[in-house]
Structure 1
């Protein structure tokens, strides 16, 4: 990525600091900040504790809904919480006795000197003000909103760190969070310029662009735009990239460990796989039998290639290759440290002063990655079997056997989220009949409890499963005499075939056969599908490849004309389909102009509803093949189990 563009993207931190400073400096008095724990890690990307103290914050506390923070007279409490109704209502209930005490004591008769302030991230909705008035806090509590916009996590990776956007849009049908996302995209346009072309795919993406256009034109920077095109896509247009298990190092780290603002904690026995597993089937291991000291800090890995060179070297490699590389580095470091025994006294002083601190820091990083890779191997012991099953699902190989294997995994492995994830993938690729879903739901509820039955309705709302219908025993005989209709081609199958997302096993075997030369083997591996072990190409990577390789609008339309829901926006023109855009640019009708081939080979990709590292790695691969730069951004980075877990939170 170009250095100036990289610096611009890192500049979001300075903008966020200015916005937060404006809020804090507008509040007079002795201030204490009470932070919701989920906001601590993202806020560390915006400012430090020392910076907050310079802005008048005397003490910082963690917000706990069950325990109030003690307050002294004339002390201003500033609460920073996520814009979630449940969290907001819990905070108002907690503030009620404190506010009554302030009113009774006669503190702060001037309404301008409010003792309580609530900063909502990223938005302060109108009904928040209505609730404040209903509980009698109008004039006592001041509401603010703060949006830190994009957080620069790594080279070419941006995140809004809004983990509940997927739940709002796809599970609840609530689009109230889209204006905050549009404001962040508008700020990106102010910093990097407006692209010549914007491609949207999905209803939420189109709605997001409408909100962005309603905000009005942005002042154009003096320099040319940094991005030649934008691609905004809904998460539900490519569920497969999230439901499939990635094969790369960064992707598998997220499958096992919890990610918060670009940092994972690896020194905890309660990782994602273990926490979702039925306790009866967990068994004993060294991670559960060893007591963890209460004062010990968990070991963390920051997923930033500039801060951690070990991660930077291995992040997009196949996991087997990455783990072997980490082990090789451990051996090399041990040999390097053994050289101390052969050094003379003068040489040892120089070695200890110059090289040893760097080696010690490198050793700590390598050991953290070694520990992480060992836990991943232990948690994903059936990794090859799982990938074979997913490949058969993609290729629709004996769906009856696939259903029985998923049922078997439910019984033997007992994973709450990942088993449902496989069933969702099966429905996406092949289709699941209502009777089959009823049978699976019965077995699932017998395993985890019947309170989880509502989860199937949530997944149906998101389009991951069919609607769960009640059983009708009286009509069983009548229905058994009727011919069973064949499954129709799903939208995923249609788009996957049109865009060639599914790689052919036969072609790969032919390229890697005994008679193939080294160049043929290299060509077989030169495909973005390596992120899923050569079975599937993420949709955003394929669309980026099409945008970068198209030489004319007509050529673009030839590849994308059959994809429903795709819209092209060029400059200030109205949205149109790829076919209509090609026709207008060819005949010269309207204001449409042919912007292909793209002069600026920088692409910005935004996934509405969460992106994953497999997609990011595939886009990075496409960028290197086409001599381009691709920046992937989203509201959050997640794994497939996080997508399913969201249905349990509603």
Structure 2
């Protein structure tokens, strides 16, 4: 093909620009754009401020929900906000006095004075609320979906950070329609795959929505992807709850991510801000640090990140230090140069070296903060390994309680308890005891967080304490814990390295200060666990027939194979091929070894790195996409947005 797959994926930016241009150009007059702060960084991936000015935007403001809105009589005000009910209602309350005043002063401006662009959807009840506020006809609504944003090679994001909260905590699936439209656009650009594998209720629902949107027009060019894999986040919570061992993953564990860019700030990083105030402390390093810097997680923009992103953190940090020393030696060469050599060196090579030096120093600073913040990293990974292998539950609960008291982290301690529940099970009495200790430390207002996490399937339901029933139950023999869904699927799909056939990397690699041997996708967790997405990709790429794939995926509930308009289990699909005519050829082995993976509810860099390893091992190309990129603490933090 003349156009490579990466170029096509980067072309989403042009489609997003065309969509935005259509909205802006449909609004006559001089325009002011008021942006919700959370939309600024993603919008920078779509267009620049100069591009907006060419489309008639005179000024750009940040929207502040606590301050009065700016107003100019000769300007059309365009507000761009996320499709969140609370944000929308706040904006309507702010607009009411302004819109009424404008309507009474100049009736001819009624239909063009105020516009609201909702990202990514404008729901039906938004129009009803507009009418209830008395603004129907005074404020015009638009919807804008920028679809996939190209963050890095093989990494796409819809940049919808609140989607996990909506789908898994609130049970609100209204955002799936916008995701289906983005996936349909991907089909129009890259063609329809021969087969799609879905795992989870939301993934299956997405496929139904895609089919309801109609078939994509046939393209003369062959498709770019041989298969799609769409999976729900709750089908592999473990790969998010485990602490990653790779450089990109640990950067996200410590620093805030904004549309593919992290903020290197030691005073306000994720670990420090979630700690109990009494345990935070103020180190000299934090107080003396200057203005926070930013690192863009894009290998084309930052070669230091590109070289180290999927390496083990110990290896990556030592390489960064070595590069700092090499740059110092390179700059010392100036002392031994003649005047003419010096002029040539300063004109040609020095600017590139200066830029490289700035990048290396940013990464050196970031890696030092990661080491400082994850001081108990080795103990944490040992604890996580014992949780995965269900070693001494009572001791594990005691250690988690001890970490709660000594470390005082609001999200990461809960994260360990959620991991324990998924891997081994947590009894209601054990949860009651932990919840009591947690609320004593962080306040009893956080009690509802446990209900939120139970809604997402991360914890059991927190039951009220009943002393009388507890006394009666204490005399009865308690049944043993049954095998959890995670344990069953992990054993069947060989996700735990203890039950995998292949030779696994040594888990003790990080404890000795050396990176784990990169011999299988589990290297992203120091050889403990293979992310489900990577394992399914490996099975799809290595399957020689549908019958072989069905054998590997047997007994896994919720998995569906979609070929054309037909959906069935892998076993039913393989059986259908045996009885069908020769016209229905088996799609396996895949003719085109390019895979597209979409995670509904947020992807993480451990999954991305593991899939990248599988792609190199099999000679394939795997593109990972999701609604957002997150770390384990972000998953838990979503339960606190109540």
Q: How many residues align?
A: 636
Q: How far does residue 291 in structure 1 lie from its aligned partner after superposition?
A: 7.3
2:520 aligned to which of 505, 510, 527 = 527
**Residue in structure 2 matched with residue 236 of structure 1 by the alignment:** 234
Matched ranges for 1:540-579 at <5 A: 540-572=533-565, 574-579=566-571
Q: How far does residue 96 in structure 1 lie from its aligned partner after superposition?
A: 1.2
Secondary structure of residue in 2 paired with 1:306: coil
Q: How far does residue 477 in structure 1 lie from its aligned partner after superposition?
A: 2.0
What is the CA deviation profile of residues 424-458 of structure 1, one whole-angstrom value per residue up to 9, with x for unaligned ones?
00000000000000000000000000000000000
2:148 pairs with 1:150: yes
Task: Mark the CA change 1:134 to 1:227 in structure 2 (over 3 Å): closer, same or farther.
Answer: same
Q: How far does residue 267 in structure 1 lie from its aligned partner after superposition?
A: 3.2
> For the Cα contact (< 8 Å) 1:191–1:221, is it kept in 2?
no
Q: TM-score, normalised by structure 2?
A: 0.97
**Residue in structure 2 matched with residue 601 of structure 1 by the alignment:** 593
2:138 pairs with 1:131: no
Which residues of structure 1 form unaligned runs of 5+?
514-520
Task: Mark the CA change 1:505 to 1:540 in structure 2 (over 3 Å): closer, same or farther.
Answer: closer
**Residue in structure 2 matched with residue 646 of structure 1 by the alignment:** 638
Matched ranges for 1:55-454 at <5 A: 55-105=55-105, 107-109=106-108, 111=110, 113-290=111-288, 296=291, 298-454=292-448
Give the Cα–Cα distance (whole angstroms) in 2 for the partners of residues 19 and 510 of structure 1. Answer: 48
Give the Cα–Cα distance (whole angstroms) in 1 for the partners of residues 173 and 80 of structure 2. Answer: 22
Secondary structure of residue in 2 paired with 1:452: helix
Give the Cα–Cα distance (whole angstroms) in 2 for the partners of residues 32 and 400 of structure 1. Answer: 60
Give the Cα–Cα distance (whole angstroms) in 2 for the partners of residues 649 and 198 of structure 1. Answer: 34
Give the Cα–Cα distance (whole angstroms) in 2 for the partners of residues 589 and 417 of structure 1. Answer: 55
What is the CA deviation profile of residues 81-105 of structure 1, one whole-angstrom value per residue up to 9, with x for unaligned ones?
0000000000001111111210221
2:626 pairs with 1:634: yes
Q: TM-score, normalised by structure 1?
A: 0.95
Matched ranges for 1:472-491 at <5 A: 472-491=466-485
> For the Cα contact (< 8 Å) 2:506–2:516, is it kept in 1?
no
**Residue in structure 1 matched with residue 488 of structure 2 by the alignment:** 494
> For the Cα contact (< 8 Å) 2:196–2:228, is it kept in 1?
yes
Give the Cα–Cα distance (whole angstroms) in 2 for the partners of residues 122 and 590 of structure 1. Answer: 44
**Residue in structure 2 matched with residue 18 of structure 1 by the alignment:** 18
What is the CA deviation profile of residues 270-309 of structure 1, one whole-angstrom value per residue up to 9, with x for unaligned ones?
10000100010112212443375xxx5x310000000000
Q: How far does residue 481 in structure 1 lie from its aligned partner after superposition?
A: 1.1
> For the Cα contact (< 8 Å) 1:548–1:597, is it kept in 2?
yes
Task: Mark the CA change 1:376 to 1:91 in structure 2 (over 3 Å): closer, same or farther.
Answer: same
> For the Cα contact (< 8 Å) 2:505–2:522, is it kept in 1?
no
Q: How far does residue 484 in structure 1 lie from its aligned partner after superposition?
A: 0.3
Secondary structure of residue in 2 paired with 1:575: strand
Task: Mark the CA change 1:128 to 1:564 in structure 2 (over 3 Å): closer, same or farther.
Answer: same
Task: Mark the CA change 1:649 to 1:631 in structure 2 (over 3 Å): closer, same or farther.
Answer: same
Which residues of structure 2 form unaligned runs of 5+?
508-513
Matched ranges for 1:28-67 at <5 A: 28-67=28-67
**Residue in structure 2 matched with residue 620 of structure 1 by the alignment:** 612
Q: How far does residue 44 in structure 1 lie from its aligned partner after superposition?
A: 0.2
Q: How far does residue 70 in structure 1 lie from its aligned partner after superposition?
A: 2.3
Which region of structure 1 is more displaced relative to structure 2, 498-507 or 274-283?
498-507
What is the CA deviation profile of residues 519-539 of structure 1, one whole-angstrom value per residue up to 9, with x for unaligned ones?
xx9996410000000000000
Give the Cα–Cα distance (whole angstroms) in 1 for the partners of residues 216 and 226 of structure 2. Answer: 17
Q: How far does residue 67 in structure 1 lie from its aligned partner after superposition?
A: 1.0
**Residue in structure 1 matched with residue 510 of structure 2 by the alignment:** none
Task: Mark the CA change 1:627 to 1:347 in structure 2 (over 3 Å): closer, same or farther.
Answer: same
Q: How far does residue 598 in structure 1 lie from its aligned partner after superposition?
A: 0.2
Task: Mark the CA change 1:306 to 1:522 in structure 2 (over 3 Å): closer, same or farther.
Answer: closer
Secondary structure of residue in 2 paired with 1:29: coil
> For the Cα contact (< 8 Å) 1:584–1:592, is it kept in 2?
no
> For the Cα contact (< 8 Å) 1:108–1:115, is it kept in 2?
no
Task: Mark the CA change 1:2 to 1:386 in structure 2 (over 3 Å): closer, same or farther.
Answer: farther
Give the Cα–Cα distance (whole angstroms) in 2 for the partners of residues 417 and 564 of structure 1. Answer: 30
> For the Cα contact (< 8 Å) 2:197–2:561, is it kept in 1?
yes
Task: Mark the CA change 1:26 to 1:588 in structure 2 (over 3 Å): closer, same or farther.
Answer: same
RMSD: 1.9
* Deviant stretches of 4+, over 6 Å: 505-513, 521-524
> For the Cα contact (< 8 Å) 1:123–1:145, is it kept in 2?
yes
> For the Cα contact (< 8 Å) 2:314–2:515, is it kept in 1?
no
Give the Cα–Cα distance (whole angstroms) in 1 for the partners of residues 131 and 585 of structure 2. Answer: 52
